Amino acid sequence: MAIKHAQTPEVLREAVAGGGVVLADYGAAWCPPCRNLLPILDELARDYGDAVTVVKIDCDEQPELAAEAGVMSMPTVIVYKGGQPVDKLIGLSPKSVYTGMLSRHLA
């Protein structure tokens, strides 16, 4: 499955309301660690397919979503399950860290 880009707040809200596992990446185009995270997100979206919805939120374009999520620095990755945030990771990490996070919530 491809990464969904939250061009509107509804994209993220609908994904989270669906009740499945959602990995939401809050970042910005000008942020170097955010750009380095993109290939990892692409791999995760491909690896997990329909089991996980990956949503990319540009904090400059969707400041209200970033504020609702309490994002203070980028990138911030939040995992939602059953409509609620269940895990949060701030900063760039290796793919294995994101895989571990998702595995905990898919089990």
Q: Residue 88 class from Cβ within 10 Å (0-12 exposed, 13-18 middle, 19+ buried)? A: middle
Whether 59 is a known active-site residue: answer: no
The single residue of 34, 57, 59, 74 carrying the catalytic annotation is 34
Cis ω for the linkage preceding 75 (within 30 of 0): yes
The single residue of 31, 86, 89, 90 carrying the catalytic annotation is 31
**Residues in Cβ contact with 76 at an 8 Å cutoff, skipping those fewer than 6 apart:** 25, 26, 27, 69, 88, 89, 90
Whether 34 is a known active-site residue: answer: yes
Q: Do residues 10 and 42 lie in contact, with contact meaning Cβ atoms separated by under 8 Å?
A: no
Q: Minimal CA–CA distance to 71: which of 42, 101, 91, 86? A: 91
User: Which positions are annotated as active-site residues?
Assistant: 31, 34
